[in-house]
Amino acid sequence: MVDVADVIVVGGGVIGLTTAVTLAERGLRVRVWSRDPAGATTSAVAGALWWPYRIEPAERVGAWSLETLAVYEELAAGPGGTGVRLVAGVHGGERFAALGPWAAKLKGAVEAAEGLRVTLPLLDMPVHLAWLEQRLVATGGAVERRAVAGFAEAAERAPVVVNCTGLGARELVPDAGVRAVRGQLVVVENPGITEWFTEADPASVATTYFFPQPAGLVLGGTAEADDERREPDAGTAREIVARCARVRPEIAGARVLGHRVGLRPVREGGVRIEAEALPGGGRLVHNYGHGGAGVTVAWGCARAAATLVG
């Protein structure tokens, strides 16, 4: 365990761990304080396809996403360890004209009759989160299971505190603009599907997607604002399976392996990356409000936050 820290990162999801690794690899002594093990965070529930979906501010998200994409393309060389694979699939109904300038940088993306066909990073989140923790420890950092009631507690132990608390920022900052958006998934035995598929309806809480993961085919999903139920809803699960089966009929008969529910930390105004002074001379750097796209912008946002740490 590291006894002295230059930086304490509060929050141990994908944003917190990626930020901690970025800082540690810049030579800083870093500790992560996380209430939950990485496998119990919202990040662990994510379907985890790289794609800048429902995330603001638009003028910054493209650059953060492309920075992160470049890292994942490198990590995909060792999928067994990193949890990152490059997998082909289709964004149903999507067209380049509806996307931002970042889309022009996608390698090999083509418009097809069914939508935009492209090969993208797909992350096995439990494996990836464990890999991030191991990479942090290998660089001299540490992860401590610890809940905090305020950032002053961390500021007593390090001159810089980085806030990567996601939904927790609502109370800790406090930031009334942070709200939960509930996402429910179903995991089924994969009937032989090797490509992912998504089809989003921005006007609806229901989306249709399936991602072939090592532990099963992940089906989704929902985006229910201000709904903080953490238990899966049986009716919603049936609807998810039915929607996915309309795209691939073999899904209808697939054995259900489990259900997942996660609360996305969406923030009015989008991602917040900025610094402020703490009483006593400490520095607080914020990096939260990523909604359901934390995986997509993790490395870009980590580097932006690391610049503010100095």
293 has binding-site annotation: yes
Query: What SS3 state is found at 68?
Result: helix
**148 has binding-site annotation:** yes
Identify the residue whose tokens are 């009631």: 149
Is 192 annotated as contributing to ligand binding? no
Contacts of 96 (CB under 8 A, 6+ apart): 103, 104, 109, 111, 116
Q: Determine whether the annotation assigns residue 264 to a binding site.
A: yes
Q: Tell how strand 216-222 and strand 206-213 pair up.
A: antiparallel
What gap in Å lies between CA 8 and CA 298, rounded to an integer?
18
* 258 marked ligand binding residue: no
To the question of whether residue 295 is assigned a binding role by annotation, the answer is: yes
207 labelled ligand-binding:
no
Phi, psi torsion values for 229, nearest 5 degrees = -65, 130
Q: Contact at 8 Å (CB) between 187 and 261?
A: no
Q: Rounded to whole angstroms, how far apart are CA atoms 239 and 129?
A: 30
Q: Is 289 annotated as a binding residue?
A: no
- Tell me whether residue 247 is annotated as binding: no
Amino acid identity of residue 194, one-letter, is T
State yes or no: 194 annotated in a binding site: no
Q: Indicate the annotated binding residues for FAD.
A: 42-43, 148, 165, 291-296
Q: Indicate the annotated binding residues for D-dopa.
A: 209, 264, 292
Q: Indicate the annotated binding residues.
A: 42-43, 148, 165, 209, 264, 291-296
